[in-house]
Structure 1
Amino acid sequence: MAKCSEDKKEEAEVHKLKANEFFQKQNYDKAIEFYSKAIECNSEEPIYYGNRSFAYLRMECFGYALEDATKAIEMDKSYVKGYYRRASAYMSLGKYKMALKDYETVVKVRPSDKDAKLKFTECQKIVQQMLFQKAIAVDDDKKSVADSINLDAMTIEDNYDGPALEDGKVTEKFMLDLMEYYKAQKKLHKKYAYKILLDIKAYFTKQPTLVDVHIPDDSKFTVCGDIHGQFYDLMNIFKLNGLPSPSNPYLFNGDFVDRGSFSIECIFTLFGYKLLYPNHFWMSRGNHESVTMNQMYGFEGEVKSKYSSQMGDLFTEVYNWLPLCHCLNKRVLVMHGGLFSSDTVTLDDIRKTERNRQPPEEGIMCELLWSDPMPGPGRAPSKRGVGTQFGPDVTKRFLDNNNLDYIIRSHEVKDDGYEVSHGGLCITVFSAPNYCDTMGNKGAFINLQGDTMEPKYVTYSAVEHPPVKPMAYANSLLRLFS
């Protein structure tokens, strides 16, 4: 390899400084662009890879972050930040044992580094907890958490002034009362919360993996993307587009929880409407409706804080039964992530997919939850480290093979709340504006008319919420990265 000239090294430093400025402004796309330019000028400097890895982490491109951090370490075994970055990527992917190895390396190099020691200890706790849970698990005859819930033993205290189920059922009045109660930052009684979870689990267990939805010709239908625990923005969607009802149906396309710190409020509102209008309200599973994501990004911590770990386990059982995608009028397929690493996948293959489990690391279920579109043709390894990236030719072949018009997916922050790609054949919708209170993006939802199925986009800005920061309940490790 030819040595980098001094001029090129100087140019690379200019690009790095520019990238740092964009990073400080939380414009991570631009930061990545300029770190990449620095690497083009001088590919021998591990710091550029380490910095770009950090920007990729902020963009949730964990696969790319892992690749860059590994490259930086290969170039300089003593580059400590490289190990930090790689550990962060491993943690985000749920690969805790790999993360622990990197933290161990940092601690050995910097035995007096309190921050490194703290991260190592926290990661070690997670690994030990996983090993303990594995040791006590009985796979053959594991009792359902739902079966162990005794609602009759739960007493409604006299001082409880919140919404109440009527004869154990969700009603329109209950939903209106619930949303107002949540806006006032109050908590639904645990007896009603458990009843909703038990009822919704019973409902979802009877649903197919791929749900066919019929939209009458003259009817409006709304598709929403990620909500991510942003309850007050969810309320704004209902304000702008109307409350769910038989004449105003909705599909929420996964990632209802995590990141935002009002996930409990979001999920019970959505589950409540699903029970109230089962034939006019739909929910798809996202990659964040899983144990690994919930452990890291806040939902598990929030459930434990507001209710109990037992309820967290019940949520896991419910999430395992969420449908993986919906087919609208036999023309539009809606899934959280995207398409597949094989051209042979059909709608029948999706229907036959076993979903009552945690998402696997490959295959149809994994890719429905994790994949992303890319501008160029063909396929590429996922920028997230899970799923695949698929090009416009892949999308067209899938649609042609399955007699569909286009796909709608979510899963990615977009500046305008939505993005039309692959020549109009792939639409991304993301409904959490100013994601994590930092991204500055708009939120969006899609209105469809049954006869034309032509998408109309409504965008909106974030609204104010109470002073509880996103990730308030997240695993402490995620807040420690520097």
Structure 2
Amino acid sequence: MTSMVENATSYIERAEEIKLLANDAFKANKFSQAIELYGQAIELNGLNAVYWANRAFAHTKLEEYGSAIQDATKAVELDPKYSKGYYRRGAAYLAMGKFKEALKDFQQVKKICPNDPDATKKLKECEKAVQKLRFEEAIAVQESERCSVADSIDFRCIDVEPQYTGARIEGEVVTLDFVKKMMEDFRNQKCLHKRYAYQIVLQAREMLRALPPLVDVTVPNGHHFTVCGDVHGQYFDLLNIFELNGLPSEENPYLFNGDFVDRGSFSVEVILTLFAVKCMCPTAMYLSRGNHESKSMNKIYGFEGEVRSKLSEMFVELFAEVFCCLPLAHLINGKIFVVHGGLFSVDGVKLSDIRTIDRFCEPPEEGLMCELLWSDPQPQPGRGPSKRGVGLSFGPDVTKKFLEENNLDLVVRSHEVKDEGYEIEHDGKLITVFSAPNYCDQMGNKGAFIRFAAPELKPDIVSFSAVPHPDVKPMAYANNFLRLFS
């Protein structure tokens, strides 16, 4: 009997030691390592609510909000009076834009800690967000009845003041000289005149709207093509990509695979640069929609606030409209399938199914379009729930089958931070590429891009480190309550 008690005690002590190691990993921003260590502590002592809540927090840091909610729920089941469990779950709900669920959790925190000023403040912010949401829902017009804001804008009527010294578009054509001058102005933190910003965004809209949901890209023999992953408003790292790999041109084309905006605080500069290059030379710049090219994400993660601050309210509506025109995937020489998120919850999806998706809408909560933007690979076979709480996780067998059925060689996707800027998975049949180094100024990761040269189309992956940027923190324009939690 004594030895059983001693065993239990030693498990509990060992779990505590591992928890301290996990805490250290967390403080060093090594969130994956922290998750693994908290998991080991849970295996030794699964009845300690603190371990579950701590692991939930680490999941939140990796944007794995689905897993965070599961862990925090376990914490409050183990200890219904544990305020941190509700707090962690509320924060994860907030990050997913689920304000009403978040509100319930913060009300619970306030009930348990009535005198905690921090809990009071966060509850107030959450109540404000829910009220605003209810108001927006009440006045929202059905998408089918909504007039296009783009059709109501005539940029030609906007005068440019004589004292404006920034980049100018002469007439209708966006030239390389204009793009270079605009990029240099942005580097020096100068703004582009609204007239030209409207002109670029409206022209880009026309081009994107004319494209199919799945764009076929042809790379002739002896030529190359570069694929970049998430840039997330990190403008100075975007400039560095162009310095390392050359400016986009017909001879040096790029595909940016979604998540151009949000989190980083130079999203306006990033999106105007990418759109301007698209206008200058449509075959120099291909753009795919990411899960962050959507109203719900932009409201929370900074793009909407940044657009209001640097441009105007009208531009908020305009960008939302243009994002709905972005294609969902690209096919390089009929062999390489490039998409922001990943594959599907059902077998048998053909390229022809993707070609018929009606994409001109905000991303739905389920179905093919949602999965293209949100899914992630997993190492084990089959399919599993998404750690993000949206989309799903798919295994190597799912990738293999999709490639075989569509006569493809490779899936390239983005959507996840990787230490080296990329990761090769699923028996070499799937590559993740992520192009925002030192993501959010705290992850310490490298960025990467992939060059494919025809005819072989072998992936040549280049990793790069972050470069300095002006002292504007990530999420500087993000929703107020979200900043409270970061």
Residue in structure 1 matched with residue 351 of structure 2 by the alignment = 347
Match of 2:219, SS state, is coil
Q: Deviation per CA, 1:279-308, whole angstroms, max 9, x where unpaired?
A: 231000001111111111111111111111
1:67 to 67, 70, 76: 70
The answer (yes or no) to whether the contact 2:229–2:449 under 8 Å persists in 1 is yes
Q: Deviation per CA, 1:234-293, whole angstroms, max 9, x where unpaired?
A: 000000000000100000000001111110000000000111111231000001111111
Shift, 1:209, TM fit: 0.5
Q: Calculate the TM-score normalised by the size of structure 1.
A: 0.98
Alignment of 1:276-315 (within 5 A): 276-315=280-319
Residue in structure 2 matched with residue 34 of structure 1 by the alignment = 37
Shift, 1:147, TM fit: 2.0
Alignment of 1:252-331 (within 5 A): 252-331=256-335
Shift, 1:112, TM fit: 2.5
Shift, 1:123, TM fit: 1.8
Residue in structure 2 matched with residue 136 of structure 1 by the alignment = 139
Match of 2:145, SS state, is coil
In the alignment, the residues of structure 2 paired with residue 116 and residue 198 of structure 1 have an alpha-carbon distance, to the nearest angstrom, of: 44
**Does structure 1 residue 371 correspond to structure 2 residue 412?**
no
Shift, 1:157, TM fit: 1.1
In the alignment, the residues of structure 2 paired with residue 66 and residue 324 of structure 1 have an alpha-carbon distance, to the nearest angstrom, of: 28
Alignment of 1:72-471 (within 5 A): 72-139=75-142, 140-471=144-475
In the alignment, the residues of structure 1 paired with residue 306 and residue 391 of structure 2 have an alpha-carbon distance, to the nearest angstrom, of: 28
Shift, 1:221, TM fit: 0.5
Match of 2:365, SS state, is coil
Structure 1 window deviating more from structure 2 (126-135 vs 47-56): it is 126-135
Question: For residue 483 of structure 2, what is the amino acid of its counterpart?
Answer: R
Shift, 1:141, TM fit: 2.1
In the alignment, the residues of structure 2 paired with residue 76 and residue 373 of structure 1 have an alpha-carbon distance, to the nearest angstrom, of: 33
The answer (yes or no) to whether the contact 1:84–1:481 under 8 Å persists in 2 is no
In the alignment, the residues of structure 1 paired with residue 22 and residue 480 of structure 2 have an alpha-carbon distance, to the nearest angstrom, of: 27
**Does structure 1 residue 50 correspond to structure 2 residue 53?**
yes
The answer (yes or no) to whether the contact 1:284–1:325 under 8 Å persists in 2 is yes
2:17 to 11, 14, 17: 14
Shift, 1:105, TM fit: 1.4
Match of 1:446, SS state, is strand
In the alignment, the residues of structure 2 paired with residue 202 and residue 112 of structure 1 have an alpha-carbon distance, to the nearest angstrom, of: 55
Structure 1 window deviating more from structure 2 (467-476 vs 173-182): it is 467-476
Give the percent of matched residue pairs that are identical in Structure 1 and Structure 2.
56
Match of 2:420, SS state, is coil
Question: For residue 116 of structure 1, what is the amino acid of its counterpart?
Answer: A
Q: Deviation per CA, 1:18-70, whole angstroms, max 9, x where unpaired?
A: 00011111111111111001100000000000000000000111110010001
In the alignment, the residues of structure 2 paired with residue 387 and residue 419 of structure 1 have an alpha-carbon distance, to the nearest angstrom, of: 20
Question: For residue 373 of structure 2, what is the amino acid of its counterpart?
Answer: L
Shift, 1:137, TM fit: 2.2
Question: For residue 22 of structure 2, what is the amino acid of its counterpart?
Answer: A
Q: Which runs of 5+ in 1 are unaligned?
A: none
Q: Deviation per CA, 1:312-339, whole angstroms, max 9, x where unpaired?
A: 1110000011000000000000000000
Match of 2:360, SS state, is coil
The answer (yes or no) to whether the contact 2:234–2:267 under 8 Å persists in 1 is yes
In the alignment, the residues of structure 2 paired with residue 62 and residue 100 of structure 1 have an alpha-carbon distance, to the nearest angstrom, of: 16
Question: For residue 184 of structure 1, what is the amino acid of its counterpart?
Answer: N
Q: Which runs of 5+ in 2 are unaligned?
A: none
Question: For residue 128 of structure 1, what is the amino acid of its counterpart?
Answer: Q
The answer (yes or no) to whether the contact 2:249–2:283 under 8 Å persists in 1 is no
Question: Which contiguous aligned blocks of 4+ residues in structure 1 show a shift greater than 3 angstroms?
Answer: none
Shift, 1:153, TM fit: 3.7
Q: In structure 2, do the counterparts of structure 1 residues 124 and 150 end up closer, same or farther at CA, with 3 Å as the change threshold?
A: farther
The answer (yes or no) to whether the contact 1:346–1:401 under 8 Å persists in 2 is yes
The answer (yes or no) to whether the contact 1:378–1:390 under 8 Å persists in 2 is yes
Q: Deviation per CA, 1:124-172, whole angstroms, max 9, x where unpaired?
A: 2222222222222222421111122232442211111000112132111
The answer (yes or no) to whether the contact 1:257–1:289 under 8 Å persists in 2 is yes
In the alignment, the residues of structure 2 paired with residue 373 and residue 107 of structure 1 have an alpha-carbon distance, to the nearest angstrom, of: 38
